[in-house]
Amino acid sequence: MNRPIIFLAFTAVLFSCKHEIPFDQIVNNPYPVNPVVPDPCDPDSIYFQEQILPLFISSCGMPDAGCHDPIDHEEGIVLTSYNQIINTGDIVGGNLNAGDIFDVITTNNNNDRMPPPPNAPLTQEQIDMIATWILQGAENNSCESLFCDTLNVTFSNSISTLVSNKCEGCHSGANPNGGVSLTNYAQISASATSGTLWDAINATNGVAIMPPNTGLSDCEIATFRIWIENGALND
């Protein structure tokens, strides 16, 4: 006779233990955990869509900065898609000396360096990644499963890497885009818990899509959702 009451009490306790997400939109963005991907990625390859394109967009194709986006196209160079990067950047697979791209990202001359000051230069790791991609043929390749694991989401292994690759180029330095810096856990978690990060990656509440032009993949958005739902921990 008392079973319904016991069941309701247990259900109330169960749901009271669940972390409350900071904004309602997240529950409307479901994504399957670890979707099956038939073709495994090569861990020794550099993939354009996941590694190179976000780097060019966030470091070279920032909008409203007089850079190489479709609106400003400084010196007629646009670096926000594969064809544009190959054609206007004069990139030739296997040849680091073709065009000026590799020269301007490696020079020590601030008058010629890209990204130009006061933007931070590319890190040696980022330069090496671009060099490897070019030497491997500069292909328009993609393999999301190597970079998006929704089963083991942590700040250090998932969120920090995503932000570094796809956000930090615009949101760092002396004049970060929109006045928002995303260079460390404190800044990223503050943006996440306030809801501004979620609005930016989903283009909600009047916020333009971030990263500009491309946005994030469904799996990457799900990674942010899972991290936020779990409390946006520094794990």
In a domain, 113, yes or no: yes
In a domain, 12, yes or no: no
In a domain, 16, yes or no: no
Residue 159 lies in domain: 24-40+149-229
Q: State whether 84 and 112 are in the same domain.
A: yes
In a domain, 11, yes or no: no
In a domain, 223, yes or no: yes
At 77 the pLDDT is: 72
Cα atoms in the Cβ-side hemisphere of radius 13 Å centred on 143: 13
* Pairwise pLDDT comparison (9 vs 76), residue with the higher score: 76
52, 53, 55, 60 alpha-carbon torsion, rounded to 10°: 130
Radius of gyration of the CA atoms of the chain, in A: 21
At 46 the pLDDT is: 93
pLDDT digits 0-9 by tens, 132-142: 999 999 999 98
* Pairwise pLDDT comparison (194 vs 64), residue with the higher score: 194
Q: State whether 76 and 104 are in the same domain.
A: yes
In a domain, 234, yes or no: no
What is the pTM assigned to this prediction? 0.59
218-229 helix and 185-194 helix, angle to the nearest 10 degrees: 90
Q: Cα–chain-centroid distance for residue 96? A: 25
In a domain, 235, yes or no: no
Using a pLDDT cut of 90, give the percent of the chain over it. 21
Q: How confident is the model at residue 45 (pLDDT cuts 50, 70, 90)?
A: very high
Of the residues 105, 135, 165, the one at which a domain ends: 135
* The total number of structural domains that make up the chain: 2
Of the residues 77, 103, 135, the one at which a domain ends: 135
Burial tier of 78 (Cβ tally within 10 Å: 0-12, 13-18, 19+): buried
At 5 the pLDDT is: 44
